[in-house]
Amino acid sequence: MLDVGDLRRGHYILYQGSIYKVIEANKHFMGRGSGLIRTRLKDVKTGLIKEVTFPSGEKVEEADISFQKAQYLYNDGDHYYFMTLDDYEQFALPKEEIEDVKFYLIENLEVDLVFHEGVPVSVELPVVVELTVVETEPNFKGNTVSGGGKPAILETGLKTTVPFFVERGERIKVDTRTGEYIERA
């Protein structure tokens, strides 16, 4: 059992019969008495996010999970296929289970598969991935002062904002937690 005061981003817990990943955990204290722990939890099966407030001192069950290094192979429209790097076993995850990470998956990308009771339930991405810009507006002079950016579509379908100097066909580094441009690759 885990005290809710110890919950941190990235923890996996069992709550109401489902496995949730903690996205956010904030402590709020009142003038008197105990405080509250406000959390944002993401169901690893459905991808739904729910906000749950726990009273301070409550306990939650930590999910029994394990991680295995794997390589993303391909998708067939309905499933995404991964191969573990230690025993070369292949696993298929339905697209519904990885809705949020599909925009960062490129062939041969190394990821961590999250297992619960021997079954893969989720994918943990590296913090940074390199993707190719497939569509963006051409650059034009005199628009660099504002310090803004222009919209771009990457090879996986991810839409993000890039600096004005980035052109179509360039490889860029993207933060998988926020979807934001970091730098040229």
Residue 155 pLDDT > 80: yes
Nearest 5°: CA angle at 47, between 171 and 149? Answer: 30
Residue 114 pLDDT > 60: yes
Residue 23 pLDDT > 80: yes
The pLDDT of residue 141: 57
Is 65-124 assigned to CATH 2.40.50.140? yes
Per-residue pLDDT of 41-83, as tens digits, reads 988 877 788 999 988 888 999 888 889 999 999 988 888 999 9
The pLDDT of residue 144: 56
Give the Cβ contact number of residue 150 at 10 Å.
16
* Percent of the chain's residues with pLDDT above 90: 17
| pTM of the full structure | 0.74
Backbone angles phi, psi at 76, to 5 degrees: -110, 15
The pLDDT of residue 78: 87
- 54 by DSSP, 3-state: which? strand
Domain 2-62 matches domain 65-124 at the CATH topology level: no
Class of domain 2-62: mainly beta
Give the Cβ contact number of residue 121 at 10 Å.
18
Across the range 103-125, mean pLDDT stands at 88
The pLDDT of residue 71: 94
Domain boundaries, the chain: 2-62, 65-124, 128-184
Q: What average pLDDT is seen over the chain?
A: 85
Across the range 101-119, mean pLDDT stands at 88
CA distances from 4 to 23, 29, 51 (A): 14, 14, 14
CATH architecture of the region 128-184: Beta Barrel (2.40)
